[in-house]
């Protein structure tokens, strides 16, 4: 999607249009470079550091046809660390970050509120409940697929419930949607607490649940990449498809309708996309807060409100953010790993407060 936005159109007849496109191209280019750097850093750094040259060699050897790259200089351990441990982990991190940021950007557009976040409609709570249930029932030990699957189903189920509750006579007012989401999240949260408290006698399971809830990317494999990638791809495709409608919806539902937008249809599409993206993210990484809230907001300050710029930039910036946060989680207390959710909250929450306060000050000035 970024490539499409970044291309110089022949259609601009004014310097203003040219200038705008120039800025967009430059910012997207910078974000793409940042993502490449974080990917490289994410693979090199960790409990054991691997030289960037070695990383490049291993990646090239695995991506390019067999025999093109000479891998005799690379040790077996480095090869395993780079290709089987770190690469899937940073890819999952990138997909989770891109997914959460894209979901956040869409929700903020839909709710006309720059401080909205993707878990407003109960997807995070539902996902967490599904995962906790899978762990508590012992399904987690049987197959790698159970926890992500139940988490994903939980997220989608919660969204469907919230949507059904908020819809009356074919219309779904966003305010009702928001309040239904808050109420149902609280209810599901209580159910999750209940399951945890019942499992407290079983220390190991309780520990696993609590760890999962804190969010983390430890021991994520290529299987996890293949779980999340299609969901993020589909979610991003939907987001790209409704980018103009999201712009128009920011002007209010009546204005959107008079410009030919089928408002309720777009709401369903956006919610589906946001649920796919957050559901998939929760499924493979647990609950990771503040990325979906802060990243799109930051991007908007940089590039203005138009979604054709906000969406690709959020995806790129979100991916970089989660990769960097994961690197910090791995390296801050080496060899111990911190939980990823702690890092994103530690950086995201103060930044969020900073945004709140500057907004309040701007409002006071006006």
Partner 1 sequence: MSTLALHNAGVAIDGHWLLRGATMTLRAGNVTAFLGPNGSGKTTLLCVLAGLLTPSAGHVTLHGQDLHSFGRRALAQRIAFVPQDTHVSVAFTVREMVEMGRHPHLRRFERVRQRDHALVEDAMRRADVWHLARRPVTELSGGERQRVIIARSLATQADVLLLDEPTANLDIAHALDVLDLCQQLAHEGKAIGLALHDINAAARYATHLVLLSAGRLVTQGRPEDVLQAAQLNQVFDVCTDRTHAADGTPVFVFYRDRHEASNPDEGAARGETPS
Q: Using the rule CB under 8 A, which residue among 36, 190, 262, 361 binds partner 1? A: 262
| Comparison of 17 and 144: residue with beta carbon closer to partner 1 | 17
Q: Is 250 in the site for partner 1 (CB under 8 A)?
A: yes
Q: 202 with 196: CB under 8 angstroms?
A: no
Single out the segment in contact with partner 1 by CB under 8 A; choices: 13-21, 139-147, 214-222, 313-321: 13-21
In whole angstroms, the minimum distance from the beta carbon of 4 to partner 1 comes to 8
Q: Is 112 in the site for partner 1 (CB under 8 A)?
A: yes
Q: Is 10 in the site for partner 1 (CB under 8 A)?
A: yes
| Comparison of 221 and 272: residue with beta carbon closer to partner 1 | 272
Q: Is 168 in the site for partner 1 (CB under 8 A)?
A: no
Single out the segment in contact with partner 1 by CB under 8 A; choices: 3-11, 25-33, 201-209, 347-355: 3-11
Q: Using the rule CB under 8 A, which residue among 255, 332, 333, 357 binds partner 1? A: 255
Q: Is 175 in the site for partner 1 (CB under 8 A)?
A: no
Q: Is 17 in the site for partner 1 (CB under 8 A)?
A: yes
Q: Using the rule CB under 8 A, which residue among 14, 204, 362, 364 binds partner 1? A: 14
Q: Is 12 in the site for partner 1 (CB under 8 A)?
A: yes
Q: Is 56 in the site for partner 1 (CB under 8 A)?
A: no
In whole angstroms, the minimum distance from the beta carbon of 3 to partner 1 comes to 13
Q: Is 244 in the site for partner 1 (CB under 8 A)?
A: yes
Q: 360 with 138: CB under 8 angstroms?
A: no
Q: Using the rule CB under 8 A, which residue among 248, 274, 277, 295 binds partner 1? A: 248
Residues 298-327 that bind partner 1 (CB under 8 A): 304-306
Chain residues in the site for partner 1 (CB under 8 A): 4, 9-14, 16-17, 20, 112, 240-241, 244-245, 247-248, 250-251, 254-255, 257-262, 304-306
């Amino acid at each position: 999607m970024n490539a499409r936005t970044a291309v110089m159109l022949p259609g601009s007849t004014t310097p203003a249009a040219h200038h705008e496109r120039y800025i967009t191209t430059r910012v997207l280019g910078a974000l793409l470079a940042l993502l490449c750097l974080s990917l490289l850093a994410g693979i090199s750094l960790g409990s054991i550091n691997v030289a960037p040259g070695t990383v490049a060699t291993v990646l090239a050897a695995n991506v390019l046809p067999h025999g093109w790259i000479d891998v005799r200089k690379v040790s077996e351990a480095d090869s395993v660390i780079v290709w089987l441990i770190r690469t899937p982990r940073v890819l999952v991190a990138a997909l989770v970050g891109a997914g959460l940021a894209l979901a956040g950007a869409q929700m903020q557009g839909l709710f006309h509120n720059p401080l909205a976040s993707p878990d407003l409609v109960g997807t995070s709570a539902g996902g967490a409940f599904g995962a906790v249930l899978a762990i508590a029932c012992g399904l987690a030990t049987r197959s790698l697929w159970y926890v992500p699957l139940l988490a994903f189903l939980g997220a989608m189920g919660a969204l469907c419930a919230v949507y059904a509750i908020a819809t009356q006579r074919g219309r779904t007012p966003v305010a009702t949607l928001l309040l239904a989401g808050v109420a149902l999240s609280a209810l599901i949260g209580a159910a999750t607490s209940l399951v945890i408290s019942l499992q407290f006698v079983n220390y190991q399971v309780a520990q696993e649940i609590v760890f999962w809830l804190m969010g983390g990317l430890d021991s994520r494999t290529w299987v996890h990449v293949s779980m999340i990638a299609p969901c993020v791809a589909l979610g991003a495709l939907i987001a790209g498809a409704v980018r103009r409608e999201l712009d128009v919806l920011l002007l209010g539902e009546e204005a959107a309708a008079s410009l030919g937008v089928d408002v309720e249809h777009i709401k369903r599409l956006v919610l589906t996309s946001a649920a796919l993206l957050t559901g998939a993210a929760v499924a493979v990484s647990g609950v990771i807060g503040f990325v979906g809230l802060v990243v799109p907001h930051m991007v908007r300050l940089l590039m203005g409100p138009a979604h054709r710029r906000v969406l690709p930039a959020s995806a790129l910036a979100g991916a970089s953010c989660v990769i960097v946060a994961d690197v910090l989680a791995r390296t801050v207390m080496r060899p111990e790993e911190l939980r990823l959710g702690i890092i994103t909250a530690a950086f995201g929450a103060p930044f969020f407060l900073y945004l709140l306060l500057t907004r309040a000050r701007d409002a006071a000035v006006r």
